[in-house]
Amino acid sequence: MSPEWSDRPSSSAAGTGGEGEPEKRRAILRAAVEVFAEKGYQGCRIADVAKQAGVAYGLVYHYFRNKEELLESVFDQQWSIFITALRAIGERGGSAPEQLEEICRFAIDVFRNAPAAIRVLLLEVAHTPNTFRAGSTRETFEEAVEIVAGIVRRGKERGEVRVEVDPVVAAASLLGALELNLTGMLMGILGGTSEEEIERVKRGVIDLLFSGMTAR
Amino acid sequence: MSPEWSDRPSSSAAGTGGEGEPEKRRAILRAAVEVFAEKGYQGCRIADVAKQAGVAYGLVYHYFRNKEELLESVFDQQWSIFITALRAIGERGGSAPEQLEEICRFAIDVFRNAPAAIRVLLLEVAHTPNTFRAGSTRETFEEAVEIVAGIVRRGKERGEVRVEVDPVVAAASLLGALELNLTGMLMGILGGTSEEEIERVKRGVIDLLFSGMTAR
Amino acid sequence: MSPEWSDRPSSSAAGTGGEGEPEKRRAILRAAVEVFAEKGYQGCRIADVAKQAGVAYGLVYHYFRNKEELLESVFDQQWSIFITALRAIGERGGSAPEQLEEICRFAIDVFRNAPAAIRVLLLEVAHTPNTFRAGSTRETFEEAVEIVAGIVRRGKERGEVRVEVDPVVAAASLLGALELNLTGMLMGILGGTSEEEIERVKRGVIDLLFSGMTAR
Amino acid sequence: MSPEWSDRPSSSAAGTGGEGEPEKRRAILRAAVEVFAEKGYQGCRIADVAKQAGVAYGLVYHYFRNKEELLESVFDQQWSIFITALRAIGERGGSAPEQLEEICRFAIDVFRNAPAAIRVLLLEVAHTPNTFRAGSTRETFEEAVEIVAGIVRRGKERGEVRVEVDPVVAAASLLGALELNLTGMLMGILGGTSEEEIERVKRGVIDLLFSGMTAR
DNA sequence: GATGAATGAGGCTTCATTCAT
DNA sequence: CATGAATGAAGCCTCATTCAT
């Protein structure tokens, strides 16, 4: 769906978007996603990133001012990809249920290809130092919620969504439900990570959020 | 609802279970909850805990072998309180909707009284070192999901919950929706933390998960 | 030979010499010998001593001003026993060879009964902080050498010892040879610690120092 | 006799074996010998080593995993030099008395040039933590004893040494006698450290071990 | 006497960051 | 660009010592 989310290193010749961006800089960013996702902000060491990227220690500081800037780049990049996709889905048209389903599908697809990225997105939101959070994280998270809420809101206007539904709460609930189900899969609690399992969970979340639990 | 979750130090007479436990040990644990919640596992410094508890640095090591054991204690304690409450709700009888509503109410009440505790519970699940996670965290998280899933399952048997609902996915979604809504409130994104706001969010989550979004 | 060197705790009723000395104080001293011998000055922790003695932490400080004083007491006590014995042997009369043989026998007997004590005597001589060493250690060590040297010296006067022998060097050599042979046994290098082995080593050292290596 | 034992930093051209070894790494090792010898294993602080070597604190950890590895390196290096020399003497030929005399001369020469090294070799054998001791120390000490014992053994076969002499005991005695005489000199007990004094002690030890004390 | 909780300075170790090559 | 040695502040942990009971 979006090539940047693939874990496979793209061949250096192909201009994968960030045209003139040096090969090694991308390697560092890619490595940082992994390590950041694995260890969290505080547990992520520059040495680990460099080793994972296969570059020398000091090169990280050639491309990034310091640890904070590096990880903020990672964070922004990941969220920006995610938000771009959210926005695209929101603007693509279709009914609210269709759009929200698309979001679930997207999130879970990403998870299938790049679980590390998901962890960066969902798990670090509240765990970075204040200066960090105060920066882009908060706004970005807020924006994601707002996009989803907008979809719900428009769905209400069109009569596709019940009037009682609070758009912001619904948006947060959707994202939260996705997060914990994905976390559960990552931790090996909610079944494995086979295709069928993932598909089953995806359907389950969508069905629940659309139709609710209550028998009728 | 449960006095242990209050941030105020409970008078020693309160039969909380940890009866003969030294005063200062409890102070350390209480402080650790705060700092752990504020800074996360890696960012939490023993010096901060000691200062917050008003005890000398070394005393922390009198009661806990090391940082890991301290924070694991915090984690276990918080989860154990939470799970005890979950279990109590599950065994108290009533319909599945009533029980799940009770869980939401409990979670949000706790949040109102002790936001720090909630953060420890919900936000640190996946962010602790491996030895830590491998320990009780995984099982405990799993247990929480399983208790909620059990409520859903019994609801299905009684015809209160739609047969299409996957109990485990529903459980994870419920907890995830709660988490992200609470996180949003903590981060100041989903409105403030006034009584009415909290009440509104609580109703919103319950309504969404029970009735779904779809207009009929 | 001297009851104080036994590892067995003497019954509290028997006045073992230090008459009015409290039972627990002796237990601490006895424990300190063990731990000191096992870990050395720096590695010896008050907590270890207390545990080994079966007394409470703080009691050590009831009987001894601080760690230094405790260990110095241990050191002095052990050396004083050793030196008393040396002196007794020196004054008992007999030829120099007989006296030196007696010293070897004594040292090795002690080793058999209380290897810990020997280690305190022989192995810590040069490893304690300066203030410590500057205190009694140096003089005591010097005194031991001097006593043995005196025996050699008188042996020379009586024609039992070759005139070329330097008494002080001979004394240091005797004690050093004993030390390293005992150390070797402790480390399990020079055979085991069976009766016959010990006897064999004892004879070997005496024979070597008296008759030399040179074949005639 | 061997340039490595000199305290003066050897010019990089000297083919000492550790050719490409970084300058500062050697400085650290050299400093560690001093401090280790001065304070013993437990009393030796990394900060002291760094200061003595004139490098930053952290650099020690750039070259050595931790304190234990550093000091074990020191220990191994010193013993390895010593043992190499012992072996060379043993293989150089000559009668047993000549070889043993050579060993004494070597040991005492080394002492003259690098007293710190001798202390590391002789005084720390039994004072390091168990993991440490269990490692190379034991075997290395054992090897030193065995080399000297081999010389004695061959001396017996050639009739240069009395048949009654136990080679291992003789070896341990020789080394022990050297140790305590050197210790005595270090502590200022056995005369000073002037050339004549050293020479006198050397002769004394050799004479004693070869000819024994007994007047004939 | 006896106990063990409480204190805090000191040492080990890590790791972000800089710098010479 | 790229490397990795070098730096040192900061955090964890230990343990001698004190003190209230």
Q: What is the DSSP letter of D11?
A: P
Q: Is the pLDDT of residue D2 over 70?
A: no
Q: What is the pLDDT of residue D69?
A: 93
Q: What is the pLDDT of residue A58?
A: 94
Q: Is the pLDDT of residue A11 over 50?
A: no
Q: Is the pLDDT of residue C11 over 60?
A: no
Q: Which residues of A touch B40 (CB under 8 A)?
A: 40-42, 127
Q: What is the pLDDT of residue A63?
A: 96
Binned at pLDDT 50, 70 and 90, residue B182 comes out as confident
Q: What is the pLDDT of residue C193?
A: 72
Q: Which residues of A touch B123 (CB under 8 A)?
A: 126-127
> Which is higher by pLDDT, C143 or A116?
C143
Binned at pLDDT 50, 70 and 90, residue D122 comes out as low
Mean pLDDT, chain D, rounded, equals 83
Q: What is the pLDDT of residue C13?
A: 41
Q: Is the pLDDT of residue B2 over 70?
A: no
Q: What is the pLDDT of residue B15?
A: 37
Q: What is the pLDDT of residue D134?
A: 54
> Which is higher by pLDDT, A146 or C113?
A146
Q: Is the pLDDT of residue A82 over 70?
A: yes
Q: Å from D87 (CA) to F6 (C1')? A: 39
d(CA C8, CA D166): 34
Q: Å from A58 (CA) to F2 (C1')? A: 8
Q: What is the pLDDT of residue A197?
A: 85
Report chain C's terminal Cα–Cα distance, integer Å.
37
The minimum CA-CA distance between D85 and chain C, rounded to whole Å, is 20
Q: What is the pLDDT of residue B211?
A: 94
Q: What is the pLDDT of residue B149?
A: 95
Among C157-171, C174-188, D6-20, whose mean pLDDT is lowest? Answer: D6-20
Q: Ranked by mean pLDDT, which of A183-187, B131-135, C69-73, C153-157 comes out on top?
A: C153-157
> Which is higher by pLDDT, A78 or C8?
A78
Mean pLDDT, residues C182-194: 76
User: Considering only CA atoms, which residue is closest to the C1' of nucleotide E4?
Assistant: C57
* Closest C-alpha among D134, D139, D117, D127 to residue D186: D117
Q: Which residues of B touch A189 (CB under 8 A)?
A: 138, 141-142, 145
d(CA D168, CA C205): 10
Asked if C216 has any chain D CB less than 8 Å from its own CB, the reply is yes
- Contacts with A42 (C-beta within 8 Å, 6 or more apart), sequence order: A127, B40, B41, B42, B43
Retrieve residue C32's tokens: 């300190």
Q: What is the pLDDT of residue C16?
A: 42
Q: Which residues of A touch B174 (CB under 8 A)?
A: 177
Which amino acid appears at position C52 of this protein? Answer: Q
Binned at pLDDT 50, 70 and 90, residue C41 comes out as confident
Mark A106-144 as b/e (b = at least 16 C-beta within 10 Å): bbbbbbbbbbbbbbbbbbbbbbbeeebbeeebbebbebb
C15 with C99: CB under 8 angstroms? Answer: no
Q: Which residues of C touch D184 (CB under 8 A)?
A: 145, 168, 172
Among B96-105, C59-68, D85-94, D134-143, whose mean pLDDT is lowest? Answer: D134-143
A42 with B71: CB under 8 angstroms? Answer: no
d(CA A131, CA A68): 9
Binned at pLDDT 50, 70 and 90, residue B38 comes out as confident
A49 with A28: CB under 8 angstroms? Answer: yes
Asked if D169 has any chain C CB less than 8 Å from its own CB, the reply is yes
Q: What is the pLDDT of residue B12?
A: 41
Mean pLDDT, residues B96-120: 83
Mean pLDDT, residues C74-90: 89
Interface of C with D in 142-161 (CB under 8 A): 142, 145, 152, 155, 159-161
Binned at pLDDT 50, 70 and 90, residue A87 comes out as very high
> Which is higher by pLDDT, B115 or C197?
C197
d(CA D177, CA D208): 10
Q: What is the pLDDT of residue C17?
A: 46
Q: What is the pLDDT of residue B78?
A: 85
A87 with A147: CB under 8 angstroms? Answer: yes
- Contacts with C66 (C-beta within 8 Å, 6 or more apart), sequence order: none
The CA–CA distances, whole Å, from C210 to A77, C174, C214, D103, D171 equal: 85, 10, 11, 21, 15
User: Cβ of A179 and B179 within 8 Å?
Assistant: yes
Who touches strand F, with Cβ under 7 Å?
A 22-24, 55-59, 61-62; B 44-47, 57-58, 61-62, 65-68; C 44-47, 57-58, 61, 66-68; D 22-25, 55-59, 61-63
* Closest C-alpha among C16, C8, C36, C180 to residue C108: C180
Asked if D42 has any chain C CB less than 8 Å from its own CB, the reply is yes
Binned at pLDDT 50, 70 and 90, residue D14 comes out as very low
Report chain B's terminal Cα–Cα distance, integer Å.
37
Q: Is the pLDDT of residue D204 over 70?
A: yes
pLDDT > 70 in chain D, percent = 81
pLDDT > 90 in chain B, percent = 46
d(CA A128, CA B43): 9
* Closest C-alpha among D122, D212, D105 to residue D172: D122
Mean pLDDT, residues C123-150: 71
Mean pLDDT, residues D145-173: 95
Rg (CA), chain B: 18
Protein contacts on strand F: list nucleotides below 7 Å from a Cβ: 1-20
Mean pLDDT, residues C159-185: 91
Interface A–B counts its CB contacts (< 8 A) at 208
Which of the nucleotides lies closest to D57 (Cα–C1')? F8
Among A176-180, C133-137, D119-123, whose mean pLDDT is lowest? Answer: C133-137
Mean pLDDT, chain B, rounded, equals 83
Among A107-116, B31-40, B66-75, B96-105, whose mean pLDDT is lowest? Answer: A107-116
Q: Å from C45 (CA) to E4 (C1')? A: 16
pLDDT tens-digit map of D33-54: 999 888 888 889 999 999 999 9
Mean pLDDT, chain C, rounded, equals 83
Binned at pLDDT 50, 70 and 90, residue A180 comes out as confident
The minimum CA-CA distance between C71 and chain D, rounded to whole Å, is 16
Report chain D's terminal Cα–Cα distance, integer Å.
37
Entry pTM: 0.83
Coil, strand or helix: which one is C42? helix
Q: Å from B160 (CA) to E18 (C1')? A: 65
pLDDT > 90 in chain C, percent = 45
* Closest C-alpha among D82, D99, D101 to residue D90: D99
Binned at pLDDT 50, 70 and 90, residue A16 comes out as very low
Mean pLDDT, residues D202-211: 94
pLDDT tens-digit map of C92-105: 989 999 999 999 98
Mean pLDDT, chain A, rounded, equals 82
Binned at pLDDT 50, 70 and 90, residue B30 comes out as very high
Mean pLDDT, residues A56-67: 94
Binned at pLDDT 50, 70 and 90, residue B127 comes out as low
Domains of chain B: residue spans and CATH: 5-213 (1.10.357.10)
Q: Is the pLDDT of residue D15 over 50?
A: no
Report chain A's terminal Cα–Cα distance, integer Å.
37
- Contacts with B127 (C-beta within 8 Å, 6 or more apart), sequence order: A40, A43, A123, A127, B40, B41, B42
User: What phi and psi, each to the nearest 5 degrees, are found at residue A214?
Assistant: -55, 130
Binned at pLDDT 50, 70 and 90, residue B167 comes out as very high
- Contacts with C191 (C-beta within 8 Å, 6 or more apart), sequence order: C185, C197, C200, C201, D168
d(CA B14, CA D78): 65
Binned at pLDDT 50, 70 and 90, residue A19 comes out as low
Q: Ranked by mean pLDDT, which of A56-65, A108-117, B67-76 comes out on top?
A: A56-65
Q: What is the pLDDT of residue D19?
A: 55
Q: Is the pLDDT of residue B13 over 60?
A: no
